[in-house]
Amino acid sequence: MSAADVFVAIAFYVVALAMVGGGLAMVFTRDMVRSALWLVLALGGVAAIYVLLSADFLAVVQILIYVGAIMILMLFAIMLTPNQVDLQSAAPRAQKIGAALTALTIGAISLFAILSHPWNIRAVPLNAPTSERLGVLMMSTYVLPFEIASLLLTAGMIGAIVIAREE
């Protein structure tokens, strides 16, 4: 094991701790604005995880789209709907217990599947710049999903404007 491995391990655990902590804080905070800001921490951590997974292009896209655009949208929505503080304590206790049980059950099943499945792991992990190859793939093999995604985005944006417009 080299010094680089130890560095990657430290980086992974610090980022993973920040992400899980941010996610838990987001779920349990009552104030919606704070909740959204905790989510920013978790989503920024995902960008750092992409860097560790040698997905350079996706890391930048994650920061641009999630931490930039989507979170701004969410904060706008929170501030345009005032007096909607999430009274989690007022939510029925049975609902919270049910939610926790569902999440724990699905988590346990997923973990069991992950740890018992014989993954076909490659000898040398992918470790090269991906932007160029992603671009080529999107314009060749995955050109149809790419076009459908652009169509979906256009339709979504027009739909959002029409729905949110004041009469």
The answer to whether 37 contacts other proteins (rule: CB under 8 A) is no
What residues between 63 and 122 interact with other proteins by CB under 8 A? 65-66, 69-70, 73-74, 76-78, 80-81, 84, 86-88, 90-91, 95-96, 98-100, 102-104, 106-107, 110-111, 114-115, 119-122
Short-list 23, 69, 27, 28, CA closest to 46: 23
If DSSP codes are grouped into helix, strand and coil, which group holds residue 4? helix
CA distance 30 to 89: 9
Short-list 50, 66, 69, CA closest to 58: 50
Shortest distance, CB of residue 2 to other proteins, whole angstroms?
A: 10
Shortest distance, CB of residue 99 to other proteins, whole angstroms?
A: 3
The answer to whether 156 contacts other proteins (rule: CB under 8 A) is yes
Q: Which of 3, 118, 125, 140 binds other proteins (CB under 8 A)?
A: 125
Rounded to 5 degrees, φ, ψ at 61 are -65, -40
Would you give the DSSP letter of residue 54? T
Shortest distance, CB of residue 121 to other proteins, whole angstroms?
A: 5
The answer to whether 14 contacts other proteins (rule: CB under 8 A) is no
Shortest distance, CB of residue 137 to other proteins, whole angstroms?
A: 6
53 contact partners, CB below 8 Å, separation of at least 6? none
Short-list 32, 160, 48, 33, CA closest to 88: 32
The answer to whether 44 contacts other proteins (rule: CB under 8 A) is no
Q: Which of 1, 116, 118, 144 binds other proteins (CB under 8 A)?
A: 1
